[in-house]
């Protein structure tokens, strides 16, 4: 979708990342006897490289603990609260 939107002249930011709070990560952590953070620390680079190997690129692919992501979530949350969505 981002490629298409860019081709049509839209200003697009394609952002994704490893989610240490997802169910799959929690299950993997439990199976390996480690914390979800340890799972992300182990697999983040592998997953990021795999996307690149398939020709999938992101403007930002990060981990949820990065300050940029945390700040962005807070901005989005405040926006939703101000609009009465939450």
User: Torsions phi, psi of 81, nearest 5?
Assistant: -65, -40
Ramachandran category for residue 54: left, alpha or beta (phi over 0 → left; psi -120 to 50 → alpha): alpha
User: pLDDT category, 66, cuts 50, 70, 90?
Assistant: low
Q: What pTM value is reported for the model?
A: 0.56
| Structural domains for the chain | 2-82 (3.40.50.620)
CA distance 50 to 11: 25
Q: Mind listing the pLDDT tens digit for each residue in 8-55?
A: 988 887 877 777 777 888 899 999 999 988 988 888 888 889 988 998
């Amino acid at each position: 979708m981002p490629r298409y939107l860019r081709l049509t002249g839209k200003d697009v930011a394609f952002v994704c990342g490893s989610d240490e709070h997802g169910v799959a990560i929690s299950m993997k952590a439990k199976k390996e006897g480690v914390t979800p953070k340890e799972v992300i620390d182990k697999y983040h680079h592998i997953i990021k490289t795999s996307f690149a190997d398939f020709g999938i690129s992101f403007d930002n692919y990060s981990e949820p603990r990065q300050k940029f992501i945390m700040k962005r979530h807070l901005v989005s949350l405040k926006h939703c609260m101000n609009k009465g969505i939450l």
